[in-house]
Amino acid sequence: MGEKTGPSLNPLEQFVILSKTAKGLAAVELVKQALAAQGVFVFGELLDMQNIKDLESNESSAPYFQLLKLFAYGTYQDLIAQPAGSLPEVTPVMIRKLRMLSVVTLAETEKLIPYATLQEKLGLESIREVEDLIIEGISCGIMTGKLDQKNSYFEVDFVIGRDIQPSDYAGIIGVLSGWCESCDSMLTSVESQIDKLNEDKAAKTAHRIELENTISNLKANLKNMSGAGGEWEDPDSRMESDRSDRKDKRGGKMKGRVTGSSTTAAGSGASGSGGASGSTSGGTSAANSSKAGGGGGFWSSK
């Protein structure tokens, strides 16, 4: 199934194709049609066609070539500045198109264009004419923006690019060359930073490996120093074990102190009890002796 072809997206393309065979008066007529055609706002490709360039060398057709260049690069102010009779007749449709292209040129350097400036540059007498022209330009797709009636200016959001004059090529090349140099400089700086980071990473990796090897050697030396056949104990575990031993010893001492105090207290209590017992026994013996004596005396007397 073949690919379906639609209408050309470039309105100038049909005039470029026709210019390949159009010469003399046919080329002049082609230029007039292109200037008046709806939707055609760039003319650079047409100017580059050889049959159109040949118009410049003919005295009768040269004014049409100059008019085409004016629409490609110029503004309405350039048109009215031309000497009388130097250009062919310009129709109202052509003038309106040139005014819209003049707005595009102004918008390239100004985002907010006052109505007063537009009236002056476009040769319009009223603000209503200015607004109608801008609305038509927005409808044609060559510009977008907002009309601020309160503050009397046109706020530009977008405009198409106009044709570039050959005299501007050097400036454009200079700007692009400067941009390329800036990109190269930035790229060099980024690469330098990457190299530096890689070197730092390699140095840290080497230091880490060296540190690990040193630790391994120290562990091996400590194990050898612990004696042949002896099991080497990790220093951290040894320290933990020492702390546990000291804790156990402190706990044993405290327990001994508590036990000794309890034993001393118990001994003192026993001695007191013994004394009391002795006293009691003594008392009892004395009582018994008295009873015995009394009895003896009673029986003796009898």
Longest dimension (CA), the chain: 198
Whether the Cβ atoms of residue 124 and residue 130 lie closer than 8 Å to each other: yes
Regarding predicted confidence, which is higher, 146 or 228?
146
Overall average pLDDT of the 204-218 stretch: 93
Q: Is the pLDDT of residue 256 over 70?
A: no
Instruction: Give the other-Cβ count within 10 Å of 154's Cβ.
Output: 25
- The confidence band for 251, taking pLDDT boundaries of 50, 70 and 90, is low
- The confidence band for 288, taking pLDDT boundaries of 50, 70 and 90, is very low
Regarding predicted confidence, which is higher, 118 or 247?
118
The pTM for the full model equals 0.61
CA distance 233 to 230: 9
CA distance 8 to 14: 8
How does the average pLDDT of the chain come out, rounded? 81
Instruction: Give the other-Cβ count within 10 Å of 14's Cβ.
Output: 16
How do residues 15-72 score in pLDDT, each as one tens digit? 999 999 999 999 999 999 999 999 999 999 999 999 999 999 999 999 999 999 999 9
pLDDT for 196 equals: 94
pLDDT for 226 equals: 72
How do residues 71-113 score in pLDDT, each as one tens digit? 999 999 999 999 988 999 999 999 999 999 999 999 999 999 9
Q: Is the pLDDT of residue 186 over 60?
A: yes
pLDDT for 237 equals: 63
- The confidence band for 155, taking pLDDT boundaries of 50, 70 and 90, is very high
- The confidence band for 238, taking pLDDT boundaries of 50, 70 and 90, is low
**Residue 153, beta-bridge partner list:** 114, 148
Residues contacting 51, CB < 8 A, separation 6+:
19, 20, 21, 22, 23, 27
Here the contacts of 32-35 (C-beta below 8 Å, separation 24 or greater) are: 32/64, 34/68, 35/67, 35/68, 35/71, 35/94, 35/97
Q: Is the pLDDT of residue 272 over 50?
A: no
